[in-house]
Structure 1
């Protein structure tokens, strides 16, 4: 049996592994896109054995040195597991790029059109516009049962729905012809279709821009996380320079659910919240910092957010009780500090700022350090950044009690 036949026999035995790896990667990416408010269709596949054999035979024929072992063939076949992201709006490619870098370990990125590769026929239009990524799934983001799939190399193709459709047609007709080579007329028609697709992408970008303009109206109601995401992306780009805000958008779907529960459903409702957010470069993403401004100092809002975030997930009863005790103490302290920070400006909205409280001489250096440490623990708990152990959390809960008593006395004496 020749080397390529051995490779194909081995691949067929492992076909389910590559199929499952692709499906797992697609599911993770689809969930991230939905959470981020990016409209897209996500599909996955393992490489068809018939197509793979043809590709291996062709590559072997054009190599300077034929394959010496199966490892060389596997290294050359980078798309055994594939994921395709078909974007509704081609302008979202940069946003998807950020998500892919967060979810996957990047081996290589290719952007098309590739100027180094001349077209195979006399084309007038620029051809295929897309980003291709060769990646591995990050083992630390997977469950123990899934971690075996971290070894699989995943190719992710990102393009508009229109571009993917045209590319599939061109690829099958030109590179895998079933009825002989195409005529000049057929090639010209394919080129013409490419021009129509590129025109269609321009129309999609204009459609996205028109939607963004509509959402700017103060009385516009957010109908989905996609509307909210469009508004937030535009708000940030209009109010901050790119280098000033390099934060991740985070789970906009969860933010939308919270806003809906609290009847914060219009542009005019969320604007005061956004104006109060400092967008600090800490471990919280943008959605988390907006959520913090919405729930600050309100026991009811904390409870609603926790219900939405956990979604009925099971938490160890002992830890759940300790976390509950922590927030029972934290929320009154937060409310006290909010009032101290904004008492002289009742129209202000949002959570206290430690530097403001230091400037007002409400917090000295030592007390500011304590409050800052407690807030970090609060952020870890509320946003699942980390989970401290129960014993340490109990100590911090007692710390809140002492801080609250000291500040209550001080603020009561100065009022």
Structure 2
């Protein structure tokens, strides 16, 4: 008892520490869910001291060897800090789980119901449906003053809003009764409520499916990132196997802002773009690969995207100038390679493909390797995956400029230069790139 009392006093001193860690984790989750177009409510909490003491006493009584020190207690109690993701639609549990595993260092996953666990009363229904993740905040997601929270173990519970509400009732009344054990009649009512919740989840799944059908209509427009996310998940699930395309959706909210600015926020406008994306397995997520296809070769669209992505926050001047210099060289080079790749296939336009360039046999291998390296830098810069040193960026900017000059001269006989409205759609300069490339009918 003395040890447990010491533990409780120690925990009360640290409770604000756990509350802050929970808020940090919840903030990361909430932002990521919104960006990914997943509707949910996110809350956090530190373990209530009264409930914690009851739990520690019970766990200690169940142990063959009682706790010997406070370290053992801290290691045994996994939910001192908790985050709850309450989904509007239970069908989003898998998507939310993927997002949690991207955001955090996940140590353990528990899925409910646990079939091997015998219920404490005679249930007719299956009980609690959820997934729990025991995880740590990633150090690179925290600033210098927040690094102390990286070691905190956080339990992240993912379930539907309905299921979370029912589980709270059952948890408090059945497993932690404050006013004595419940009668058989009360237990039966709780079980009946579980049946109603499970029925409600089925109804919510049907509602989600109905919404999916609405947004896949050819004439449908996307009114929010949630509509766009629903459409993209459905499109990718229908057209690709999971092992072929990793469904890391990324910032769908940013993609929605871009297509809205370009007046492309409809199924009719976005579907041709999706059909032309190769969906490569690299560091870019789905949204980034779609964005790349939309902005390729267009200086205006690059600037629009960078403006939206920065949110008005200005980068450090030296780095910003270096990045600007690189794109001033890269965008016209990219436009040239796009025209070269699709010079004989005007209906299949968009971002050039390295493998296609290889098969064409026009460029030497060292040139193709140089292009691949420059595009890799372009990807990390445009999506802010990482920012190399400014002098390195400037060096690569000069490399891209020199390559553009050399290819323009060498390929003058390969690429016919015609006005933007010509039969094959090739243009004479990046600034002339038609805003409806990819045959999207897009407007700036």
Q: TM-score w.r.t. structure 2 length?
A: 0.91
Pairwise CA distance, 1:247? 4.5
Describe how 1:15-414 pairs up with structure 2 within 5 A.
15-414=15-414
Pairwise CA distance, 1:360? 2.7
Give the stretch that moved more between structures: 309-318 or 218-227. Answer: 309-318
When residues 320 and 207 of structure 1 are mapped into structure 2, their CA distance, relative to the original with a 3 A threshold, is same
* Runs of at least 5 residues in structure 1 that lack an aligned partner in the other structure: none
Contact 1:326 1:393 in 2 (8 A): yes
Partner Cα distance (2:172, 2:180) in 1? 12
Give the stretch that moved more between structures: 291-300 or 66-75. Answer: 66-75
Partner Cα distance (2:159, 2:329) in 1? 49
Partner Cα distance (1:101, 1:247) in 2? 13
Pairwise CA distance, 1:71? 0.7
Pairwise CA distance, 1:319? 1.3
Contact 1:330 1:400 in 2 (8 A): yes
Contact 1:247 1:281 in 2 (8 A): no
Pairwise CA distance, 1:406? 1.3
Partner Cα distance (1:56, 1:178) in 2? 16
Pairwise CA distance, 1:410? 1.9
Helix, strand or coil for the counterpart of 1:145?
helix
Helix, strand or coil for the counterpart of 1:146?
helix
Partner Cα distance (1:107, 1:285) in 2? 24
Partner Cα distance (1:104, 1:370) in 2? 35
Partner Cα distance (2:357, 2:177) in 1? 72
Cα deviation, 1:180-204, whole Å, max 9, x if unaligned, reads 2111111111111100100111111
1:14 is the counterpart of 2:5 = no
Q: Output the aligned Cα RMSD.
A: 1.2
Give the stretch that moved more between structures: 363-372 or 302-311. Answer: 363-372
Pairwise CA distance, 1:357? 2.4
Helix, strand or coil for the counterpart of 1:172?
helix
Helix, strand or coil for the counterpart of 1:156?
strand
When residues 247 and 170 of structure 1 are mapped into structure 2, their CA distance, relative to the original with a 3 A threshold, is closer
Q: TM-score w.r.t. structure 1 length?
A: 0.98
Cα deviation, 1:134-185, whole Å, max 9, x if unaligned, reads 1111112211111100111101111100000000011111122232211111
* Runs of at least 5 residues in structure 2 that lack an aligned partner in the other structure: 417-444
Pairwise CA distance, 1:340? 1.5
Contact 2:338 2:349 in 1 (8 A): no
Partner Cα distance (1:29, 1:395) in 2? 38
Pairwise CA distance, 1:23? 0.6
Give the stretch that moved more between structures: 90-99 or 360-369. Answer: 360-369
The alignment covers a number of residue pairs equal to: 415
Partner Cα distance (1:98, 1:161) in 2? 19
Contact 1:273 1:349 in 2 (8 A): no
Partner Cα distance (2:386, 2:176) in 1? 51
Helix, strand or coil for the counterpart of 1:242?
coil
Helix, strand or coil for the counterpart of 1:413?
coil
Cα deviation, 1:2-37, whole Å, max 9, x if unaligned, reads 111110110111110000001101111111111111
Helix, strand or coil for the counterpart of 2:312?
coil
Cα deviation, 1:230-251, whole Å, max 9, x if unaligned, reads 1111111111111111251111
Contact 1:272 1:349 in 2 (8 A): no
Helix, strand or coil for the counterpart of 2:411?
helix
Cα deviation, 1:226-272, whole Å, max 9, x if unaligned, reads 11111111111111111111251111111111111110111010011
Pairwise CA distance, 1:332? 0.8
Partner Cα distance (2:291, 2:235) in 1? 16
